[in-house]
Structure 1
Amino acid sequence: MKSLLFSLLFLAVSPIIYAQNTFSGNINNAETGEPVFSANIYFPELGKGDMTDIDGNFSIQNIPNGKFKVVVSSVGFATYSNELDFPETSSLNITLEKSAIEMEEVIVSTPFHQLQSENVMRVERENVEELNRKGAITLSDGITQIAGVESLTTGVGIGKPVIRGLSSNRVLVYTQGVRLENQQYGDEHGLGISSKGIESVEVIKGPASLLYGSDAIGGVLYLNPERYAAENETNAEADVNYFSNTQGYQGSLMAKTSGEKLKFLARGSYAAHSDYETGDGERVTNTRFNETDFKAGIGYQDAKFKTDLRYNFNKSNIGIPEEIGVQSTDKAPLLPYQEIDNHILSLENKIYFNKSSLDFKIGYQYNDRKEFEEHHHEEHGEEEHEHEGEEEHAEEEHEEEGVDHPALEMHLETLNYNLKYILPRTGRFETILGVQGMHQTNTNYGEEILIPDATTTDFGVFATTHVHFDKWDFQGGLRYDIRNIDSEAVEPHEDEHSEEEYADEGEHAHESGEIAAVDRSYKSINGAIGAKYIITDRLSARLNLATGFRAPNLSELTSNGAHHGTNRYEIGDQTLENEQNFQVDLSLEWRNKHFEAFVNGFHNSISDYIYLQPTGELIEVNPVFEYTQNNAELYGGEIGLHIHPHPLDWLHLESSFETVTGKRNNGEYLPLIPANSLTNTFRVEFEDVDEKIYSKYAFIRLKNVFDQNNVSAFETRTGGYGLLGAGFGGQFAINSTEMIIGVSGNNILNKDYISHLSRLKPDGISNIGRNISVSVRWLL
């Protein structure tokens, strides 16, 4: 009987096992008929591709049976996409039309692997290389160049994404295909990801709970890791960057190789920065930081199966600034500072059946967050302070106390899983069924407790479908989620420091009160529906309606202590309910070969919005703030255009305007809402393959930020300012290698200004002044 079952199983799967196809063809220029060299032919659902040779030929092996989208792209040509059916298809000979529009890429963060022009939901996508080209110091700094995206900062080393006015736990970050969990609820907890080894950034601006569950109420920042080398190729890369303002440097080494089925890559990088200098010439003490990052991947793929194992280790030492004091260019953080170790291990498996596929991702993360603070012992009395230099004393404290005795130490372990079944296509319909979940534990080891030991468990099930017509595309779905939070009680204890010492304490030094145990469950049903309509060949419209939810985090539920970095005593509320929102997005896009324009508008209504409200009381000289809830709304949008006039295809004029307003139901404005801004860029790009420097560019950019007078009751307004930036660079060959050199400058006029999203704003501390960055990159 057992033998018979195995025989039947073998007969059932043998068509799958041996279903493999070879796909080849030729790509030519539609105007001249000449072959297109280095065109990229890519199957996004399979993760397979090839590049054309000098004759325009390509060949891809091990294509499974089924219908798959192919995307053909090349610089200077319009991107081609089509759906091919295997084994009926074996070759493709096409011509590409010349176009000055930047070639389109496949959107990975949405479920159906479409080009942006084909997507029902508008998603912003930027290559990290392009963001770095414009002088970004960190990844969180780079994403602010995307319309509708800003960063909530503490200096230049700590930044977290803000999408249309929402941040922290209201914006999900995905890396390596799994959600990033690194205590992101904290204002002073940064993104914690190096830009090295990240290929591109995608931004979903709006609720994405249908795809990602809780915490995606404000949007998703999706980080795509760099791809493996092309089949039967080996590549290596070395690059260095220098930043004048922080006297910072960053270096990275990468190697990757791929055979017919097996692939491997590894990248290591290190960065170190001194305190940044404001436009007035003062260095902001203890904004220094350093970062060590290692990424590796190994993949295997044949006609029926694909697996991708990725690992990322990131170690950061980040100073926590409190005031302008010591003027130094040292790079070792002073007290107080954070030491963060983050490990991310992810595994993605895809199984291709005859007309359907199964995608299973699992991720494990270990986040070890330590914070070190100054401790005053008898041997360091006032007399000693008077006779020792401020920096010398801080370094002595660092040596004696910093490494061995963290005041705060939290270990966060997270296991994620995501199972999706892509059903066989029926007519015009594509459908995906999925199950997602998370198991997370937080454990305290330090002398201070910011949030209690706790276990969080998520489970969600969803279905989404897409239907395509000649002029209409529709997409919709439903999802059910449940989250359980179970925390341990915390007994009250007295802080060992006196009131006079509180002024010198770090971010989380506090006198903890009693925290009761939490055992809560949060449930939610959410849905989304959207439509894209091609009004004319050049004009299209998108309308999306979606709901989302966010369960309150541990800090909002359990806080009971003074946070001296923010100079307030915070009290949580264990009766807080889900935040639930409904957002309407409308987008219009007009484009031809030499002109593009878009208008995006949104309205986001949030029920039971959670925020901090001052009570008017004082505890240990700190004002008391309580977490509470009220309904809120945010509205605004983005407008942009891109002109590249014929016949000057090398000339690009870009302009974008973004605005967002946030209010509670009582008419008061929400805090930390970005100011309106207008960005204008003039750039030139030349792709002359016959020249020694065959890829050249230059740009000049002016970003005008307007006054922010719409402020909450307990925050200050900020004035407007203009920031001028410029840069140039090129690529050329040296024997068998290629070198790319770039120079860029930000805030060239050294403007002294304060961003409305700076956490140093209440202390009157300005943002970074002029910064000139130089990058050199070798491709081997």
Structure 2
Amino acid sequence: MKNLFLYMLLIVASFSYAQNTLTGTITSTNNTPLQNVAVHIIENNSYAETDSNGLYIVTNIPKGNITVVVYLYGYEQKTEKINSNQKEVTLNFTLQEKEQHLDEIVVSTSFNKIQSQNVMKVEHQTLKQMQENGASSLMEGVASIAGVNQVSTGASIGKPVIRGLSSNRVLVYAQGVRLENQQFGEEHGLGLSASGIESVEVIKGPASLLYGSDAIGGVLYFNPEKFAKNNTFATNVNQQFYSNTQGTNTSFGFKASPNNWKLLLRANYNSQADYKIPNGERIVNTRSIEKDLKYGLGFANSHFSTDFRYNYNNLDLGLPEEEIEASGFRNPLFPKQDIDNHILSLTNKFFFKNSKIEADLGYIFNNRKELEAVDEIALHMKLKTANYNLKYYLPKWKSIETIIGTQGMHQTNENFGEELLIPNATVNDYGFFVTSNYEWNKNAIQAGIRYDRRNITTSTHGEEGEEGYFAAINNHFQSFNFALGYKTTLTDKIISRINLASGFRAPNLAELTSNGVHEGSNRYEIGNSNLKNEQNFQADVNLEYNSEHFEFFVNGFYNHITNYIFISPTGAVLDDNDVFEYLQNNATLFGGETGIHFHPHPLDWLHLRTSFETVTGKQENGNFLPLIPANQIKNNIRTEFQISDWFTKNYCFAQINYTFNQNNVSAFETSSLDYTLVNLGFGGTIKTNKNTFGIYLNANNILDKTYIAHLSRLKNDGIPNMGRTIILGLNFDF
């Protein structure tokens, strides 16, 4: 690592003389200068804002063809593609006052285009939007996106479910690298803190072309917060209070960007007590304490940019079980999880005259302990993962953009506890892909192909025929996959997308090798070393209508999976636990999402949103798949206004979300009843002298409804979800 860092500094020094600059002015249609207009360079994620004279300056812009996006709330958004090979570039904009939905920049897909240009539909939510909409945790905020749900264990553990697929079928990216943290376990959470995350992008559907194995169901791509603008520094403090869990969350951040260098530091402390259900009872040992530290160091000029990030996350988390005697207040009781997660990433971009190279390197160390008592570590696994992602963006030929790339991963798992859930193992991945994007008139087509190979080797452990015995395996999995997408702008207001893609997932270690009691699931699990790849093919259709006062979307998908892996009860009992085994069968999932956003003229301050989502999952023999979320209707009424000169950007909202009953259940699930939740919220920005701070107050489940979500892991014990909770949030910027 030391040599790598020195090498990076040498590269930086070799390019330090170069500095291309983009300048210009931004005015309204009546020639009035516009202040605080954001100017964003997509290629290296640099940005600036206009001053009181409407002037902006962006230094160290990349060489070659770049995309400039400018936006200001209440005005139209504009995008301009220019060539920046000259030393100084001047680009002026005139913006028309207009109520318009922000056209987000998407970084999780190949060509980093804005949403309206992207062939693949990608959902985007900022952390600020999630908080203002009442999310009490990062995963709860992500689950508010249509087509996304979560498998929850209490209030602190949430695993993403995208269109009925979860666990290793959904890949999570953070800081530009794939996150590996034993995600096969239903009770294993994300291992990420919301602090220091700017936004999330969700790809719904197979993304194996871009990300390889485990992206068969989709991708969650978490974008870290940006560095400060050039030659500025900023300090930020966020504070949240939670009534239900008597919890508190504190985050402190500092960032500075002197000249070409960039620095960022953020620390977070989150403490939650046991959550309370509507009858006033607290669910013992649903408490948690989370500590999080993020550090970033960057450098950029016209030829080169680098971004080094480090994230340390420690989670001390109670596991609710029967007959636990309540004691203390916040410190988790036994049994509990104690998890350390380290993420190191290094992102480098090299800009040439008409092409560029991106090189992402990552290292993740997941240290997972499950403790039964003070001196009894039942499970202790150390998972170490090194990965790389290299992409070369070829010079654009006419209207065709092409990327060739390679990705790989080396992973080791070691056991140190009294029990073994999976054996010591080594996993090696490597893959190669090529993808192209062609645009003409108002149309775009994107196509690509990829080859992947995964090798899994394990060592023998224990005695044959006994619990905890693992026979050595040396398995190889490989797959070719493709993606083909077409986007067209039918009219100025209507966009249509059609995507066809294949994906694959190699069986994970638990599915291949399990032989013992999985304490988190309370069952005896038996693996199958003869499992084959899961291979899927999905068709996805998207239609969007966007006008100044009305938006409408409809998404439909059909997903066929060959050799779908699932766990099923055998009817036997071992060690007082029901025995489950891993099997395979072909499966099909289908469904979609639809919604509207209406903000009528002249009542532009009023926003009405409604969405509906549905998914059905079946095996070839007609049996239903497990962990399929119930259908949902979500309604949101939001108003935006200004109370006074010192209390601005005010809003309030009311959400009424209805979840249907779920009777389409697998062999080891039970049906779930329907329920309606009502949430309320209010917020705004307060100005005091030279400083401003944001405030929001949310009331979730305001009617204190007793309900049990279908994907709650506490459902089998009859434990309801959280009752009414009030969240007060304060955001200070200095």
TM range (shorter): over 0.9
Checking the alignment, whether the CA contact within 8 Å between 2:656 and 2:677 is kept in structure 1 is: yes
Deviation at 1:761, TM superposition (A): 0.7
Deviation at 1:621, TM superposition (A): 2.5
Indicate if the aligned counterparts of 1:283 and 1:328 stay in contact, CA closer than 8 A. no
Are 2:568 and 2:667, in contact at CA under 8 Å, matched by a contact in 1? no
Q: Which of 648, 657, 660 pairs up with 1:694? A: 648
Other structure's SS at 2:129 match:
helix
Asked whether 1:752 is paired with 2:723, we answer no
Task: Tell whether 2:228 aligns with 1:219.
Answer: no
What is the rounded CA distance, in whole Å, between the counterparts of 2:16 and 2:339 in structure 1?
A: 45
Counterpart contact for 2:445–2:485, Cα < 8 Å: yes
Distance 1:226 1:16 in 2: 26
- Indicate whether 1:210 and 2:209 are aligned: yes
User: Where do residues 249-398 of structure 1 align in structure 2 (5 Å cutoff)?
Assistant: 249-323=248-322, 326=325, 330-373=329-372
1:722 matched residue in structure 2: 676
1:562 aligns with 2:517: yes
Whether 1:518 and 2:473 are equivalent positions in the alignment is yes
Q: For residues 629 and 405 of structure 2, what CA distance do their matches in structure 1 show?
A: 35
Distance 1:326 1:33, change over 3 A: farther
Instruction: Give the Å deviation of 1:49.
Output: 1.8
Which SS does the other structure have where 2:130 is aligned? helix
Residue 430 (structure 1) aligns with? 401
Q: Is it true that 1:765 corresponds to 2:719 in the alignment?
A: yes
Structure 2 residue aligned with 1:68: 66
1:654 equivalent in structure 2? 609
Q: CA deviation at 1:151?
A: 0.7
Could you tell me how far apart the structure 2 residues matched to 1:687 and 1:63 are? 37
Q: Among 427, 432, 437, which residue is 1:461 paired with?
A: 432
Residue 406 of structure 1 aligns to a residue in which SS?
strand
Match of 2:40 in 1: 42
8 A contact 1:594–1:646 mirrored in 2? yes
Structure 2 unmatched ranges of 5 or more: 1-12
1 CA distance for matches of 2:212 and 2:642?
43
CA distance in 1, matches of 2:577, 2:62: 65
Paired position in structure 2 for 1:9: none
Distance 2:323 2:634 in 1: 31
- Post-superposition Cα deviations, 1:412-454, rounded to whole Å, max 9, x if no partner, equal 0000100010111110011111110000000001111110000
- Identify the range of structure 1 (723-732 vs 73-82) with the bigger mean alpha-carbon deviation: 73-82
Q: How far, CA to CA, are the matches of 2:437 and 2:632 in structure 1?
A: 35
CA contact (8 A) 2:35 2:52 kept: yes
Give per-residue Cα distances to partners, 1:237-277, cap 9 Å, x unaligned: 11111001111100011000001200001000000101111
Partner SS for 2:510: helix
Give the greater-gyration-radius structure (CA): 1
Q: Work out whether residues 420 and 468 of structure 2, in 8 Å CA contact, stay in contact via their aligned partners in 1.
A: no
Distance 1:17 1:372, change over 3 A: closer
For residue 576 of structure 2, what is the aligned residue in structure 1? 621
Deviations 1:680-734 (A, max 9, x none): 000012368x821121111110110001011112210000000000110111222
Residue 410 of structure 1 corresponds to 381
Q: Which amino acid aligns with 2:78?
A: Y
Map of 2:241 onto structure 1: 242
Deviation at 1:51, TM superposition (A): 0.5
Partners in 2 of 1:225 and 1:17 — Cα distance? 25
Partner of 2:557: 602
1:451 equivalenced with 2:422 (yes/no) = yes
Kindly state the Cα deviation for residue 281 of structure 1 after the two structures are TM-superposed. Answer: 1.8
Alpha-carbon separation, structure 1, partners of 2:259 and 2:69: 21
Q: CA 1:16/1:300 → structure 2, altered by over 3 Å: closer, same or farther?
A: closer
* Structure 1 residue 552 displacement after superposition: 0.2
SS for the counterpart of 2:98 is coil
Q: CA deviation at 1:513?
A: 3.8
Structure 2 CA distance for aligned equivalents of residues 679 and 328 of structure 1: 39
CA offset at residue 102 of structure 1?
2.9
In the alignment, the residues of structure 2 paired with residue 15 and residue 424 of structure 1 have an alpha-carbon distance, to the nearest angstrom, of 23
Q: Does 1:674 align with 2:629?
A: yes
- Does the CA-based 8 Å contact 1:655-1:680 persist in structure 2? yes
Change beyond 3 A, Cα 1:664–1:302: same
- Please name the residue that 2:493 is paired with: 538
SS of the residue aligned with 1:753?
Answer: coil
Measure the CA separation in 1 of the matches of 2:125 and 2:609.
Answer: 15
1:146-161 residue pairs with structure 2 within 5 A? Answer: 146-161=145-160
Equivalent position SS for 2:420 = coil
Match of 2:200 in 1: 201
- Structure 1 residue 620, shift from structure 2 partner: 2.2
How far residue 325 of structure 1 moved from its aligned partner, in angstroms, is 5.3
Select the residue among 474, 484, 501 that pairs with 1:529: 484
Residues 706-717 of structure 1 aligned to structure 2 (within 5 Å): 706-717=660-671
Aligned 8 A contact 1:472 1:534 in 2: yes
Instruction: Give the equivalent residue in structure 1 for 2:10.
Output: none
Over residues 286-316 of structure 1, what are the superposed CA-to-partner deviations in whole Å (9 max), with x where a residue is unaligned? 1111100000100001111100000000000
Alpha-carbon distance between aligned partners in 2 of 1:677 and 1:542, rounded to the nearest angstrom? 24
* 1:103 to 1:760, Cα distance in 2 relative to 1, 3 A: same
* 1:95 Cα deviation after fit: 1.4
Name the SS for the 1:100 alignment partner.
Answer: coil
- Pairwise CA distance, 1:750: 0.4
**What do residues 88-118 of structure 1 show as CA deviations (whole Å, max 9, x unaligned)?**
6821111122232332220010111111111
| Distance in 2, Cα, partners of 1:512 & 1:288 | 32
Letter in 1 for 2:679: G
User: For 1:15 and 1:192, how far apart are their aligned partners in 2?
Assistant: 38
Q: CA deviation at 1:326?
A: 4.2
User: Offset of 1:137 from its aligned partner?
Assistant: 2.1
Q: Relative to 1, partners in 2 of residues 1:15 and 1:95: Cα closer, same or farther, differing over 3 Å?
A: farther
| d(CA) in 2 for partners of 1:344, 1:566 | 27
Q: Given that residues 388 and 408 in structure 2 are in contact (C-alpha distance below 8 angstroms), is that contact kept between their aligned partners in structure 1? A: yes
Q: CA deviation at 1:19?
A: 6.1
1:346-377 per-residue CA deviation (whole Å, 9 max, x = no partner) reads: 0011111111111101011111000101xxxx
CA-to-aligned-CA distance 1:116-152 (integer Å, 9 cap, x gap): 1111000000001110122322211111111111110
Distance 1:285 1:148 in 2: 31
The count of residues paired between Structure 1 and Structure 2 equals: 722
> Normalising to structure 1: TM-score of the pair?
0.90
Cα distance in structure 2, aligned partners of 1:300 and 1:676: 47
Q: Is the 8 A contact 2:41 2:61 kept in 1?
A: no
Q: What RMSD, in angstroms, separates the aligned Cα atoms of the two structures? A: 1.8
Preserved contact between residue 312 and residue 344 of structure 1 (Cα < 8 Å): yes
Partners of 1:359 and 1:649 in 2: CA distance? 42
> Which structure 1 residue ranges, 5 or more long, are not aligned?
1-13, 374-400, 495-510
CA distance in 2, matches of 1:567, 1:114: 46
CA distance in 1, matches of 2:642, 2:211: 40
Q: Deviations over 1:551-573 (max 9, x none)?
A: 00000000011224433211000
* Alpha carbons 1:275, 1:329 under 8 Å: kept: no
* Structure 1 residues 769 and 73, CA gap change in structure 2 (3 angstroms): same
Q: Is residue 43–residue 62 contact of structure 2 (8 Å, CA) maintained in 1?
A: no
Q: Report deviation, 1:405.
A: 3.6
Shift in alpha-carbon separation, 1:516–1:332, aligned structure 2, 3 A: same
Instruction: State the distance in 2 between where 1:596 and 1:37 align.
Output: 28
Structure 2 match to 1:388 = none
SS in 2 for 1:556: helix
Per mean C-alpha deviation after superposition, the further-off stretch among 95-104 and 703-712 is: 95-104
Equivalent residue for 1:386? none
TM-fit CA distance, 1:407: 1.3
More deviation in 272-281 or 560-569?
A: 560-569
Alpha-carbon deviation of 1:20?
4.3
Q: For residue 451 of structure 1, what is the amino acid of its counterpart?
A: I
Tell me if structure 2 keeps the 8 A contact 1:289–1:331.
Answer: yes
